[in-house]
Amino acid sequence: MYCNHLHVQVWVRCPVSSGVIRGWGCFLLLLGPLMWFGIVYFGSLLTLLWQGFYTFDDFTMSVTPELTLANIRALFNPANYDIILRTLTMAVAVTIASAILAFPMAWYMARYTSGKMKAFFYIAVMLPMWASYIVKAYAWTLLLAKDGVAQWFLQHLGLEPLADCVPYITCGGRKYAVNFRAGALSGVSLYLVAVHDPARSGGA
């Protein structure tokens, strides 16, 4: 009799695990925002991909909703191979350099800091992400420009030839060429900063 009573008590008190209820509650709570972000993000990507099949009218300089594969074929022109290779090279280089800088800092923050010091590191890491892209681009311009901070620093260390290792992209013709010095590490992305260099562009 006592055993049956215990059996009924257990069956009545635990028909469904409380963890399952909490899990479904969290899922339903996040379902709306996840669907919204999913639609916005993937919807934007699919829209961009779909518009890649539109026709570009060279005469009117407008895009017409007539489907064509010309844009996809143009992507694989030999003239674009160098651009694709440079892009992939810079992406890999920035990823590796970011990992080299980020993992030691993350390890130190997780293992050896606490309290105010950990909060300081969190703020120091997150603060650059709050700045606008215009401010970041202007900051890189000051750092990487000809006779800028980076060049001054390399000169005093006797490492000025390292500045020539930074890739350039020349556009605008020989007379009015503009060189884009690709640099630099950010917690978010890679920025291309316009730097005018007459010696390289042939303008001088």
Burial class (CB in 10 A: 0-12, 13-18, 19+), 83: exposed
64 and 103 co-located in one domain: no
- Token readout for 1 is 């009799």
User: What's the number of domains the chain is made of?
Assistant: 3
Residues of the chain with pLDDT under 70: 1-23, 160-204
122 and 149 co-located in one domain: no
138 and 126 co-located in one domain: no
**In this predicted structure, what is the pLDDT of residue 164?**
61
**In this predicted structure, what is the pLDDT of residue 169?**
39
67 and 88 co-located in one domain: no
Domain boundary among 88, 114, 130: 130
Report the alpha-carbon distance of residue 201 to residue 194 in Å, rounded.
Answer: 13
139 and 106 co-located in one domain: no
Range of the domain at 69: 20-76
**In this predicted structure, what is the pLDDT of residue 163?**
61
**In this predicted structure, what is the pLDDT of residue 165?**
59
Residue 166 lies in a domain: yes
What's the pLDDT tens digit per position in 113-153?
888 888 888 888 888 778 777 887 787 777 777 777 777 87
116 and 184 co-located in one domain: no
Report the SS3 class of residue 10: helix
Burial class (CB in 10 A: 0-12, 13-18, 19+), 148: middle
Report the alpha-carbon distance of residue 81 to residue 58 in Å, rounded.
Answer: 23
Residue 139 lies in a domain: yes
137 and 181 co-located in one domain: yes
Cβ-Cβ contacts under 8 Å for 97 (sequence gap 6 or more): 185
71 and 83 co-located in one domain: no
Residue 2 lies in a domain: no
Report the alpha-carbon distance of residue 16 to residue 47 in Å, rounded.
Answer: 44
139 and 126 co-located in one domain: no
Residue 63 · residue 54 · CB < 8 Å: yes
Report the SS3 class of residue 36: helix
107 and 59 co-located in one domain: no
Report the SS3 class of residue 197: coil
Residue 178 lies in a domain: yes
Report the alpha-carbon distance of residue 148 to residue 129 in Å, rounded.
Answer: 23
Instruction: Please report the DSSP string for 67-127 in residue order.
Output: --SHHHHHHTSHHHHHHHHHHHHHHHHHHHHHHHHHHHHHHHHHHH--THHHHHHHHHHHH
72 and 88 co-located in one domain: no
Residue 38 lies in a domain: yes
Residue 12 lies in a domain: no
* Angle at the Cα of 189 from the Cα atoms of 142 and 179, rounded to 5 degrees: 50
**In this predicted structure, what is the pLDDT of residue 96?**
94
